[in-house]
Amino acid sequence: MFLLDGLQGWEIVQNGADRWVTERNRNEGDRWATERNRKLFPENTVTRCFVTYHSLCLKEQLIDLKKEGYSDAFMDQLRPRIKISDWYTPLSDYGSQYWLSVELLDQEKNPIRTYHPYKVFFQQGSDYPWCQITYVFRDYGPGVRFIRFTHGGMGWSGIRVTNSSVEICPAAERLRCTKPNLLKNPSAQDGLRGWKIVRSGGDCWVIGENWKPIPDSVTSCFVTSYGLCLKRQLIDLNKEGYSETFMDQVQPHIKISDWYGPRWDCGSEYQICVELLDQRKNPIKTFQPEKIILSFKSSEQWCEMSHVFKNYGPGVRFIRFTHGGNDTQFWAGHYGIRVTNSSVVIYPADESFSLTYRNLLKNPSAQEGLQGWEIVADGGDRWVTGGNRTTFPVNTCFVTSYGLCLKEQLIDLKKEGYSDAFMDQLRPRIKISDWYIPPSGYRSHYTLYVQFLDQEKNPIRTCHPYNYFRQQGSDYPWCQITYVFRDYGPGVRFIRFTHGGMGWSGIRVTNSSVEICPAAER
């Protein structure tokens, strides 16, 4: 947000001495640029900057996150990283000072977090290049509704600032677990610490060394005896950083894994039970497979037991993980099942993250004829498919006729893997694209129509941006139409994509797409 519009968009907080001005960064024939030793910006990507003078000059912008498309729930539950960046440089022949302050504010515009790193002083006579300052806000807590970005400086001939930015980093980054395993002491590295002993039959639980190789270079394990041995952990999701709203709205996948192995010289039994519990610790979902019985002289190596909880509904507040076993020969000592390398992992919040940048339209380029499309209007000599007469990345296209031809697809977002919670809470940007070309010697007409629909298929948002007429006699190349939907509100369950046209020899369309953009691009 810089410079082509002067100071537009900025609020002047302090306007000392000769006040803020804007100038060019490089010599473009203006005598003053060379005389004042303006420096090229990296890769020469920015050609203008803001310039302060003698006394302190400060300017700021207040960013309303909700107006930018970031809902309260999005900010509070996902708390995406917020990256700020600014570029500054002094004149080489005068001392100067640079100043920056960035605040994360609540609804009343009270600061929640502040970044005010330092004042940068430049000494007279030094030749400084453009310098970049960056900072990333993490773990700032709930309630952030605004961001206030303030910068400036002072100096005999002023500090120069440009190319400032505030970016919301990928929301998915928060969902890549920083503590992947929610179980404490999963591999007996700290004895039995962290585990509650439920049963300790026979000669009780003990810690042993792994006799057989196991993944992840685990060297120790828990060993059972001739009487049933069970131990468990109770995971408090809120204490682990997963809020009630996050668990209820996003319902991330929960993967459990456990490794077990027998002795070769004694039979053994293994059992596991994992429960998703509500606030009162009542089970909502349970994984409890049948006991596994391993025979005497079993040649089996370490085995993994795993399960993924999905679509478990709202209310999950705790996870209770219980496992263990015993031997089957009732021998004194510790000849029972061995367990180690247990884990409970919160998956990325929705598998839809892995589905981004995937075209949701079927048969977008006529490679399968008209399959996958519903014909809405079939005028003239009707829709046909043909080869591309003009160079284009795809070889086939749909061709209209002299009467209006329209076709459409209805995309069911849930069937494509995008849950109601994902669409309502994250509201990812949705990008549509279409390519069309008219015949060179005839007048033609192209149209595109996109609707966002609720569960009953009633329109929530309609976009009919393109209704183009091409005049006779012109030779046109393939043209691309793109549009990005933002801030469309909750309730979107379907997308209806309709396009087509008409002309004496027909408009041609191909390579259409509807893509869910990464949450990061919000």
Please give the DSSP secondary-structure letter assigned to residue 77: I
Per-residue pLDDT, averaged over 298-320, amounts to 87
Q: Which domains does the chain have, with CATH numbers?
A: 11-169 (2.60.120.260), 196-347 (2.60.120.260), 354-521 (2.60.120.260)
pLDDT at 5: 57
- Among candidate residues 310, 309, 342, the one with its CA nearest the CA of residue 324: 342
Token pair for residue 329? 């020969």
Distance CA 4, CA 232 (A): 63
**248 vs 61 pLDDT, higher one:** 61
Which positions ≥6 away from 327 have C-beta within 8 Å?
Answer: 202, 224, 225, 226, 263, 266, 267, 268, 269, 335, 336, 337
- 509 burial (CB, 10 Å; 0-12 / 13-18 / 19+) is buried
Mean pLDDT of the chain: 81
| Residues 6+ away with beta carbon under 8 Å from 282 | none
4-55 pLDDT, tens digit per residue, is 456 788 998 887 655 555 544 333 322 222 223 355 665 556 778 888 877 8
**Higher pLDDT among residues 420 and 58, named by residue:** 58
Whole-number pLDDT of residue 441: 62
pLDDT(2) > 60: no
- Residues composing the chain: 522
CB 129, CB 162: distance < 8 Å: no
The dihedral region occupied by 152, where left means phi > 0, alpha psi between -120 and 50, and beta the remainder, is left
174 has a pLDDT exceeding 90:
no
Statement: residue 522 has pLDDT above 80: no
Half-sphere exposure at residue 387, Cβ-oriented, CA atoms within 13 angstroms: 2
The more confidently predicted of residues 119 and 450 is 450
What single-letter amino acid sits at 302? W
For residue 357, is pLDDT > 70?
Answer: no
Residue (of 305, 245, 246, 311) closest to 284 by Cα position: 311
What pLDDT shows up at residue 21?
53
Q: Which residue has the higher pLDDT, 477 or 181?
A: 181
**How is residue 519 written in tokens?**
């949450």
**Global pTM?**
0.42
Whether residue 180 is predicted with pLDDT greater than 80 in this model: the reply is no
Tens-place pLDDT, residues 425-447: 778 889 898 988 887 666 788 89
For the chain, helix, strand, coil in percent to 5 are 10, 45, 50
In sequence order, the 6+-apart residues with CB closer than 8 A to the CB of 371 are 362, 363
Residue 2 structure tokens: 């810089």
Over residues 98-109, the pLDDT tens digits come to: 889 999 999 999
Spatial contact of 453 and 485, defined as CB atoms under 8 Å apart: no
